[in-house]
Chain A
Amino acid sequence: MNIVYRRPESLKKKTMHYCPGCGHSIIHKLIASVIDELQIREDTIIVSPVGCSVLIYDYFECDGTESAHGRAQAVSTGLKRVQPDKLVICYQGDGDLAAIGTSETIHSANRGENFTVIFVNNAIYGMTGGQMAPTTLIGQKTQTSPFGRDPVLAGYPLKMCELLNQLKAPAYIERVSVHDVKNTIKTQKAIKKGLSYQMNGMGYSFIEVLSMCPTNWGTAPVQAAQWVKEHLASYYPLGVFRDNGASEEYK
């Protein structure tokens, strides 16, 4: 028999708590596949955020730790600085990374900390029930922007890749999406690149993943994926912003 698809070994045989159509479970699976592929399960520590994915450590056959809301990159810094030979995956939502934890994000990136950040941008606060996120689009209705996000009141959606791309230190910055199969495969490749760079000691890698939150967007899963394609990805252009591994000096 030719096996074309199987559950990654790094993923526990456990039903995830995510809502139907949520992007977190897809992204977890991609990470687990990469961990398998690179054979790094026994060296990897996963840092979970506070957000819907707070329980990420329950789904991986890897060591994992919680972090306070927004502090995942400070925790990752501590972990990595004291055991530089281990691999640290820092997983965060947009509230965690781009609102309460913006300072930790910018400074970890600016120090070029040698870990891999997976930034799940679903344009909303999922866990707390659908409030406006720093990444919520203009006009997007949420619990706390009931008339649609108004930039006069709430400013503009924060583009983290573009922001971090102003810094000298990061090794790799890419924005990907999991709204369809083609982009999901690209996302897995990006995660693999980020982790490979970490293994090579190249420094900070930042992978922003546009993702669906049907429950809090008030849409069906299929429409949610469509919304990512049509709206989220048009405000947040997909692509590579920085890739030191592809540049001459690293070859």
Chain B
Amino acid sequence: MGERILMRGNEALCEGAIIAGCKYYFGYPITPQNEIPAYMANRLPEVGGVFLQAESEIASINMIWGAGCAGKRAMTSSSSPGISLMQEGISYLAGAELPAVIVNMVRGGPGLGNIAPAQSDYFQSTRGGGHGDYYVIVLAPATVEELTHMMVDAFDLADIYRTPVIVLGDGVLGQMTEPLVLPEPSTRVIPEKDYILDGAKNRKPRTIKSLRLAPQQALEDHNMELKKKYEEIMKKEVRYEGYMIDDAEIIVVSFGTSSRVCKSSIQMVRENGIKVGMIRPVTLWPFPSEIISDLAKNTGVRAFLDVEMNYGQMIEDVKLSVNGEKEVHFYGRTGGMLPDENELYNKIMEVVNEYCIQET
């Protein structure tokens, strides 16, 4: 095992990316992720890579397309407004099945909003985000170490499924310094890249495109292939953390930074002898529906409490998974505000009382 070091989230994730073999970064400054381009500008030349500050996020994502055509591992990063600008490009990448890794250190919105940590890009990330029928894989880390290791996973997933992957953090995760052990390089088998544009030498010319005009059903056929791929991802790549769920009567569902607050509040509630646990989705898409459905059907589980840093986005996926079996309550802060562990404690206790759950 590697040495334990202290690193800030935005910088540690760069090391994770470099360990994953990423040598190319294209991006445009925006708070709260400016440490990423600054770090890459220093670090990539050392590993024989290229850092390029693009003229906009629109340019960045299309540079990523270019690098992806060449089969190279490349990344970009931004925060909410910049990610909005990238959406056309992300849709193209999904349509053309090009791998890409995009880090979104979410800030408060809508509009210019503020620069405080938020989770209000959940809808945008998990519903494709741009135009057309597609999904992207969305990974949501809760610690700096997880974020760093996740970069290796993100590049693997992007290559294995030839899809954009979004790593969804927030200002807290990006700015926070935590101890971590850097990840090992991946040992996953990556399919041979038989689509790369590197000059048609001793082979037929290749084309990378999202345009599918003819025959009439060409796009539907292609989209059905995409759908198959998405179903495979949903089957194989769901990741979540179950926290004290074995005996839990109340299940909190929360991801990323807000899930850390939940852990504190859950511990406070547990001290009262009340059984509360948490499902922390690590992949927001594919969403861990199955475990939530199973828990919803479990007679020991009385209710759910969805906790987010927005005014209720993931709760739709939680409700779809719970499918009416149990009530789903909500606690959240929006506009860049962090949930408060005492307030959340009170909210959990409110739910506990509503269901007359006794301490045991």
Q: Do A63 and B206 contact each other (CB < 8 Å), given the known contacts A41-B200, A45-B197, A45-B199?
A: yes
B211 A66 Cβ-Cβ under 8 A? yes
Of B59-67, B119-127, B151-159, B163-171, the stretch lying at the interface with chain A is B59-67
B40 at the interface (CB under 8 A from A): no
Give every chain B residue within 8 A of A57 (Cβ-Cβ).
205, 207, 209
Tell me, rounded to whole Å, the shortest Cβ–Cβ distance linking A106 to chain B. 8
Of B88-96, B247-255, B321-329, the stretch lying at the interface with chain A is B88-96
Tell me, rounded to whole Å, the shortest Cβ–Cβ distance linking A225 to chain B. 29
A58 at the interface (CB under 8 A from B): yes
B261 at the interface (CB under 8 A from A): no
| Assembly CA distance A68 to B199 (angstroms) | 21
A79 B54 Cβ-Cβ under 8 A? no
Of A45, A55, A82, most buried by chain B (CB within 10 Å of CB) is A82
Residues of B within 8 Å of A, CB-based: how many? 39
B118 at the interface (CB under 8 A from A): no
Interface residue from A47, A54, A75 paired with B211 (Cβ < 8 Å):
A54
Give every chain A residue within 8 A of B199 (Cβ-Cβ).
42-45, 62-63, 86
Interface residue from B74, B89, B200 paired with A42 (Cβ < 8 Å):
B200
Tell me, rounded to whole Å, the shortest Cβ–Cβ distance linking A36 to chain B. 14
Tell me, rounded to whole Å, the shortest Cβ–Cβ distance linking A53 to chain B. 12
List the A residue with the shortest CB-CB distance to B202. Answer: A42
A126 at the interface (CB under 8 A from B): no
Give every chain A residue within 8 A of B72 (Cβ-Cβ).
82-83
Interface residue from B50, B59, B208, B209 paired with A74 (Cβ < 8 Å):
B59
| Assembly CA distance A67 to B65 (angstroms) | 8
A177 at the interface (CB under 8 A from B): no
A211 at the interface (CB under 8 A from B): no
Chain B 238-256 near chain A by CB (<8 Å), digits 1 or 0: 0000000000000000000
B62 A60 Cβ-Cβ under 8 A? no
Q: Do A66 and B96 contact each other (CB < 8 Å), given the known contacts A78-B74, A86-B198?
A: yes
Tell me, rounded to whole Å, the shortest Cβ–Cβ distance linking A39 to chain B. 12
A243 at the interface (CB under 8 A from B): no
B205 A74 Cβ-Cβ under 8 A? no
Q: Do A81 and B50 contact each other (CB < 8 Å), given the known contacts A42-B201, A43-B199, A44-B199?
A: yes
List the B residue with the shortest CB-CB distance to A113. Answer: B52
Tell me, rounded to whole Å, the shortest Cβ–Cβ distance linking A115 to chain B. 10
Q: Do A65 and B62 contact each other (CB < 8 Å), given the known contacts A78-B26, A81-B24, A82-B67?
A: no
List the A residue with the shortest CB-CB distance to B66. Answer: A78
Tell me, rounded to whole Å, the shortest Cβ–Cβ distance linking A99 to chain B. 14
A104 at the interface (CB under 8 A from B): yes
Give every chain B residue within 8 A of A68 (Cβ-Cβ).
62, 65, 88-89, 92
A75 B66 Cβ-Cβ under 8 A? yes
Tell me, rounded to whole Å, the shortest Cβ–Cβ distance linking B315 to chain A. 33
| Assembly CA distance A37 to B69 (angstroms) | 26
| Assembly CA distance A104 to B26 (angstroms) | 14
Tell me, rounded to whole Å, the shortest Cβ–Cβ distance linking B62 to chain A. 4
Give every chain B residue within 8 A of A60 (Cβ-Cβ).
205
Q: Do A61 and B24 contact each other (CB < 8 Å), given the known contacts A67-B62, A68-B92?
A: no
B63 A78 Cβ-Cβ under 8 A? yes
Interface residue from A42, A61, A66, A78 paired with B67 (Cβ < 8 Å):
A78
B210 at the interface (CB under 8 A from A): yes
Interface residue from A58, A71, A77, A79 paired with B197 (Cβ < 8 Å):
A79
A77 B207 Cβ-Cβ under 8 A? no
B6 at the interface (CB under 8 A from A): no
A78 B69 Cβ-Cβ under 8 A? yes
B178 at the interface (CB under 8 A from A): no
| Assembly CA distance A127 to B96 (angstroms) | 21
| Assembly CA distance A86 to B65 (angstroms) | 16
List the A residue with the shortest CB-CB distance to B24. Answer: A82
B56 at the interface (CB under 8 A from A): yes
B207 A79 Cβ-Cβ under 8 A? no
Can you add 19 more A-B contacts, CB < 8 Å, to A43-B201, A78-B70, A82-B70? Answer: A45-B197, A55-B211, A61-B200, A63-B197, A63-B205, A64-B197, A65-B208, A66-B207, A66-B208, A74-B59, A74-B62, A78-B66, A79-B66, A82-B67, A83-B198, A86-B199, A103-B59, A104-B62, A107-B59
A–B pairs, 25, beta carbons within 8 Å: A42-B200, A43-B199, A45-B197, A60-B205, A63-B199, A64-B205, A64-B206, A65-B65, A65-B208, A66-B96, A74-B58, A75-B65, A77-B66, A78-B64, A78-B65, A78-B70, A78-B74, A81-B52, A81-B66, A82-B23, A82-B74, A83-B70, A86-B199, A104-B59, A107-B55
The 3 closest A-B pairs by CB, nearest first: A78-B66, A74-B62, A78-B63
